[in-house]
Chain A
Amino acid sequence: MKTIDLSSATVRDLNQALHDQVNQLEEREWVVTHPNGAHNLAVGVNEAVSVDIQGHAGYYCAGMNQKASITVHGNVGVGCAENMMSGYVRVKGSASQAAGATAHGGLLVIEGDAGARCGISMKGVDIVVGGSIGHMSCFMGQAGRLVVCGDAGDALGDSLYETRIYVKGTVESLGSDCIAKEMRAEHLEELQVLLDRAGFNEKAADFKRYGSARQLYNFKVDNASAY
């Protein structure tokens, strides 16, 4: 196990050391101490290492992650795990805005709440939130699954493509072209797998499913006056 103390080392030292593991894997377990809300921690990691961040992290933590398993023992700022490709990111506290934005793959688990625009334009990632999410979440979500054990804010799933959204609590309002959908056996099954993987003691049957009505996919001449 290798410990990097950010009260003496820089964020550049940390990220460079993690990037170097791609060429020569020297250490699989990394611990980061005294993060004190620094931005860009463990960004662009591209190796199957585990990184334990012991405190709060700032913006873009674990951004562009591939393969790595990254745990934050605290809160994260804007854009946590943005554009993640694969791997696993777990936030023990809450996340600010745009968590998991544009991410293509992997699993993002947020034990607390996530702010506005969680999963905006997500492209295949799975996001499981233990608490509630803010407004405009999953805007233009294209693929993947977003699971919310608490409530969802305004305009959930606006202009949604094929992301499947599961919410246990209330939804303040649905965005354009997002509708409640029937929970079929395959949905119960995939949701239960996700909840179990996230380690949340929840039952899939308590959730509702939301998805795209697929009315905004193509231009409709009847809507011409709106442009």
Chain B
Amino acid sequence: MCGIVGLYLKNPALESQLGALFEPMLEAMTDRGPDSAGFAIYGDEVSDGWVKLTLQATTDEYDFKALTGELEGKLGASLDWFQNASAIVLKIKAEEATVRAALAELAPTVRIMSAGKSIEILKGMGLPKEISERFGLKNMKGSHIIGHTRMATESAVTMEGSHPFSTGADLCLVHNGSLSNHFRLRQELRREGINFDTENDTEVAAGYLAWRLQQGDSLKTALDSSLEALDGFFTFAIGTRNGFAVIRDPIACKPAILAETDDYVAMASEYQALSSLPGIEKAKVWEPVPATMYIWERASA
């Protein structure tokens, strides 16, 4: 069992409250996922030619100042960064692949949680409340956010095994359910050049989507083909640069509920997580149909 929550703001005036609106949603799903939690927040886009990465170290004491100094020296690129608990958000005027190669050499223990123009992924072990406090979720601003509370069934409870998983530039995935063919699919995807850090089933779904998108599929085509390729139970929420998507497996064992008002679209595993949202009493509330993709995106920035 796990919990999924997502909030996409239609009304830009609410962007300064995104974290405050989202924190109670994430914490309401504690019963469904008490062992780890995380979220992917979108906003504060970097300019053309820049890339934004979220890096996570194994301890809060990691010397990111030294690392960013070395990176600046090595690449000769302008950069800006700030630390948040054991993670940093790094903005750098360089190609993503160049930065990844430099980081692999300079800091092999530091994990790259996300990369893109807008996305920041923050996650870790502990109760959802501890995670939201650790990273100061309440004061965060942005256009949209998806989150996850985990009760692990398929693999170990670790920071790396918690959600969201990055699936490419500005893309991420959270998952409620379990996949039964992840072992074989992971082997096939490795042959296609996709890297995996864990034995986690969701990482395989993320890797599958990343691979399909690299092959030129649209998000919709990639998700449609995932319904064929993935064997198991799932409700997925997918964060994109401009919005988010929701899809459930054809049998629909795992729950999902959607709500929409003039101000926002919200999704959650259970209605309880939506009950703190303003105007929810008058929202349109419905259950997404199985094997059908729902997507909300604003016009490309």
Q: Give the B-binding residues of A (Cβ under 8 A).
A: 36-39, 55-56, 58-59, 75, 77-78, 93-94, 96-97, 115-116, 134-135
B270: which of A58, A116, A134, A135 is its contact (CB, 8 Å)?
A58
Asked whether A37 lies within 8 Å of B272 as measured between CB atoms, the reply is: yes
The 8 closest A-B pairs by CB, nearest first: A37-B271, A36-B275, A37-B272, A56-B271, A37-B275, A115-B287, A116-B252, A96-B287
> What is the 8 Å Cβ interface bit string for chain B, positions 259-289, against chain A (1 contact, 0 not)?
0000000000011111100000100011101
Asked whether B287 lies within 8 Å of A56 as measured between CB atoms, the reply is: no
Instruction: Taking A93-B285, A94-B285 as given, write out 19 further A-B residue pairs in contact, using a Cβ cutoff of 8 Å, ordered by the A residue number.
Output: A36-B271, A36-B272, A37-B271, A37-B274, A38-B272, A39-B272, A55-B281, A56-B275, A58-B270, A58-B272, A59-B270, A77-B271, A94-B287, A96-B255, A96-B257, A97-B252, A116-B252, A134-B289, A134-B290
Asked whether A77 lies within 8 Å of B290 as measured between CB atoms, the reply is: no
B255: which of A36, A75, A77 is its contact (CB, 8 Å)?
A77
Query: For B289, what are the chain A residues with a Cβ–Cβ distance below 8 Å?
Result: 134
Kindly state the separation between the CA atoms of A94 and B281 in the bound complex, as whole angstroms: 14
Return A38 CB to nearest CB of chain B, in Å: 7
Query: For B273, what are the chain A residues with a Cβ–Cβ distance below 8 Å?
Result: 37
Return A211 CB to nearest CB of chain B, in Å: 25
Query: For A115, what are the chain B residues with a Cβ–Cβ distance below 8 Å?
Result: 252, 287
Residue of A nearest to B281 (CB): A55
* Chain B count of residues within 8 A CB distance of the other chain: 15
Kindly state the separation between the CA atoms of A59 and B271 in the bound complex, as whole angstroms: 10
Which of A36, A37, A93: most chain B Cβ within 10 A?
A37
Residue of A nearest to B31 (CB): A39
Query: For B271, what are the chain A residues with a Cβ–Cβ distance below 8 Å?
Result: 36-37, 56, 58, 75, 77
Query: For A58, what are the chain B residues with a Cβ–Cβ distance below 8 Å?
Result: 270-272
Residue of A nearest to B272 (CB): A37
Kindly state the separation between the CA atoms of A101 and B67 in the bound complex, as whole angstroms: 58
Kindly state the separation between the CA atoms of A56 and B272 in the bound complex, as whole angstroms: 9
Query: For B287, what are the chain A residues with a Cβ–Cβ distance below 8 Å?
Result: 94, 96, 115
Which residues between 187 and 226 of chain B lie within 8 Å of chain A, taking CB atoms?
Answer: none
B285: which of A56, A116, A134 is its contact (CB, 8 Å)?
A56
Kindly state the separation between the CA atoms of A115 and B248 in the bound complex, as whole angstroms: 13
Residue of A nearest to B285 (CB): A75
Return A7 CB to nearest CB of chain B, in Å: 10
Kindly state the separation between the CA atoms of A78 and B257 in the bound complex, as whole angstroms: 11
Kindly state the separation between the CA atoms of A115 and B273 in the bound complex, as whole angstroms: 20
Query: For B257, what are the chain A residues with a Cβ–Cβ distance below 8 Å?
Result: 96
Asked whether A37 lies within 8 Å of B252 as measured between CB atoms, the reply is: no
Query: For A116, what are the chain B residues with a Cβ–Cβ distance below 8 Å?
Result: 252, 290
Kindly state the separation between the CA atoms of A115 and B255 in the bound complex, as whole angstroms: 11
Asked whether A77 lies within 8 Å of B270 as measured between CB atoms, the reply is: yes
23 intermolecular pairs with C-beta atoms under 8 Å apart = A36-B271, A37-B271, A37-B272, A37-B274, A38-B272, A55-B281, A56-B271, A58-B270, A58-B271, A75-B271, A77-B255, A77-B270, A78-B255, A93-B285, A94-B287, A96-B287, A115-B252, A116-B252, A116-B290, A134-B252, A134-B290, A135-B252, A135-B290
Residue of A nearest to B274 (CB): A37
Asked whether B270 lies within 8 Å of A37 as measured between CB atoms, the reply is: yes
Query: For A94, what are the chain B residues with a Cβ–Cβ distance below 8 Å?
Result: 285-287
> What is the 8 Å Cβ interface bit string for chain B, positions 229-260, against chain A (1 contact, 0 not)?
00000000000000000000000100101000
Query: For B281, what are the chain A residues with a Cβ–Cβ distance below 8 Å?
Result: 55
Residue of B nearest to A74 (CB): B285
Query: For A75, what are the chain B residues with a Cβ–Cβ distance below 8 Å?
Result: 271, 285
Kindly state the separation between the CA atoms of A135 and B250 in the bound complex, as whole angstroms: 9
Kindly state the separation between the CA atoms of A97 and B271 in the bound complex, as whole angstroms: 14
Return B258 CB to nearest CB of chain A, in Å: 11
Return B205 CB to nearest CB of chain A, in Å: 22
Return B178 CB to nearest CB of chain A, in Å: 18
Kindly state the separation between the CA atoms of A77 and B272 in the bound complex, as whole angstroms: 10
Query: For B274, what are the chain A residues with a Cβ–Cβ distance below 8 Å?
Result: 37
Return B3 CB to nearest CB of chain A, in Å: 13
Return B53 CB to nearest CB of chain A, in Å: 37
Return B198 CB to nearest CB of chain A, in Å: 30
Which of B252, B257, B274: most chain A Cβ within 10 A?
B252
